[in-house]
């Protein structure tokens, strides 16, 4: 077996990024032949947008957004952006390290790639990272009233925080109205025909509740 870190060169985009953004590029390394660049959180959005628009870079395709929570609880949560230039046929992986003691917040890249819409929602759903500027940051795979936390974090037990009995009880007691989001119920012009108490609850911003 050869070691996982191949003797490959850093992608030339790294030096271009360094020239443009200076110390916002924290470090860069190669793993299995893929270049990984760590970006500082506050400049990450600009750097990603620049990588897309700079003609020499042309990373026009957002392959994936995900996050990694390491087993070591001290290690920061890493946000991973997998970019690709469809014309140059090269990939680049960018990471933002998020300290878990601070609020997990980062600027959304929804305005750069629309493909980020559901990918960011999934990262929010699974890791609790808040993407500021995302127009519709709701849970996507878990239901909207899901109260147990963020499943893919390492401090989340495999079987969930709640006991099986509690999970069953909540599932049976779930309010069917909760499956329509507030947004859906208020867009229809039949809104005024909803029962008074339901309108009242929607006005307060409730999306159904667990009893």
Partner 1 sequence: MSPRTVEYTVATPGVDPQGRITRFPLGLGTKDTHEYRTPGHFDENFGAEHMLVNIGPQHPATHGVLRLVIELEGETVVRVIPHVGYLHSGFEKLGEYRHYNQIIPLTDRTDYLAPMANNVAFALAVEKLMGLEITERCRVLRVIACEMSRIISHLVWLGTTGIDLGAYTPFLWSFQERERVYNLQEAWTGARLTTSVTRVGGMMADVPEGWEAGLRDFCRTLPATLDEVDAMFTRNAIWCGRTQGVGVMTAEEAINYSLSGPMLRASGVAYDVRKDAPYLGYDTYDFDVPVGEHGDVYDRYRVRLEEMYQSNRILVQALDRLEQLRGAPLNVSDPRVILPPKSRAMSDMEAMIFHFKQVMEGVKPPAGEAYLGVENPKGELGTYLVSDGTAKPVRWRIRPPAFINLAALAKMCEGALLSDVIAINASVDIVMGEVDR
What is the closest distance, in whole angstroms, from the C-beta atom of residue 19 to partner 1 in the complex? Answer: 26
What is the closest distance, in whole angstroms, from the C-beta atom of residue 31 to partner 1 in the complex? Answer: 4
How far apart are the C-alpha atoms of 4 and 83, rounded to whole Å? 21
What is the closest distance, in whole angstroms, from the C-beta atom of residue 192 to partner 1 in the complex? Answer: 11
Judged by beta carbon, residue 22 or residue 142, the one nearer partner 1 is 142
Judged by beta carbon, residue 71 or residue 204, the one nearer partner 1 is 71
List, in sequence order, every residue forming a beta bridge with 17; answer none if it has no partner. Answer: none
Judged by beta carbon, residue 17 or residue 109, the one nearer partner 1 is 109
The answer to whether 96 and 79 have CB atoms below 8 angstroms apart is: yes
Per-residue DSSP letters for the chain?
---SS-SPPPPTHHHHHHHHHGGGEEEEEEETTEEEEEE-HHHHHHHHHHHHH-TTT---EEEEEEEE--SSTTSPEEEEEEEEETTTTEEEEEEEEE-TTS--EEE--TTT-TTHHHHHHHHHHHH--EEET-TT---SSS-TT--S--TTSTTS-TT-SS-HHHHHHHHHH--GGGGS-HHHHHHSGGGGGS-HHHHHHHHTT------
What is the closest distance, in whole angstroms, from the C-beta atom of residue 99 to partner 1 in the complex? Answer: 18
Judged by beta carbon, residue 141 or residue 147, the one nearer partner 1 is 141
Which residues in this chain contact partner 1 in the complex, by CB under 8 A?
1-6, 31-34, 36, 60-64, 66, 68-71, 80, 82, 86, 89, 91, 93, 113-119, 122, 126, 139-143, 151-152, 156, 158, 179-181, 183-184, 187-190
What is the closest distance, in whole angstroms, from the C-beta atom of residue 122 to partner 1 in the complex? Answer: 8
Judged by beta carbon, residue 44 or residue 109, the one nearer partner 1 is 109
Judged by beta carbon, residue 42 or residue 114, the one nearer partner 1 is 114
What is the closest distance, in whole angstroms, from the C-beta atom of residue 30 to partner 1 in the complex? Answer: 10
């Amino acid at each position: 077996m050869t070691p996982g870190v191949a003797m490959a060169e850093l992608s030339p985009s790294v030096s271009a990024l360094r020239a443009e953004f200076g110390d916002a590029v924290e470090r860069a390394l190669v793993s299995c032949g893929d270049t990984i660049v760590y970006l500082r959180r506050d400049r990450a959005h600009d750097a990603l947008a620049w990588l897309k628009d700079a003609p020499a870079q042309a990373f026009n395709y957002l392959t994936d957004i995900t996050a990694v929570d390491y087993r070591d609880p001290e290690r920061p949560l890493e946000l991973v952006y997998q970019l690709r230039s469809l014309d140059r046929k090269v990939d680049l992986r960018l990471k933002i390290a998020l300290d878990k003691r601070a609020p997990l917040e980062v600027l959304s890249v929804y305005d750069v790639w629309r493909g980020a819409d559901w990918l960011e929602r999934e990262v929010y759903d699974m890791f609790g990272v808040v993407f500021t500027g995302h127009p519709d940051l709701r849970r996507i795979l878990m239901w909207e009233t899901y109260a147990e936390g963020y499943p893919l974090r390492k401090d989340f037990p495999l079987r969930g925080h709640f006991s099986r009995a509690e999970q069953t009880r909540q599932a049976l007691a779930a309010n069917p109205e909760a499956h329509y989001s507030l947004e859906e119920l208020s867009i229809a012009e039949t809104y005024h025909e909803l029962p008074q108490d339901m309108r009242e609850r929607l006005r307060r911003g409730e999306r159904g509740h667990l009893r």
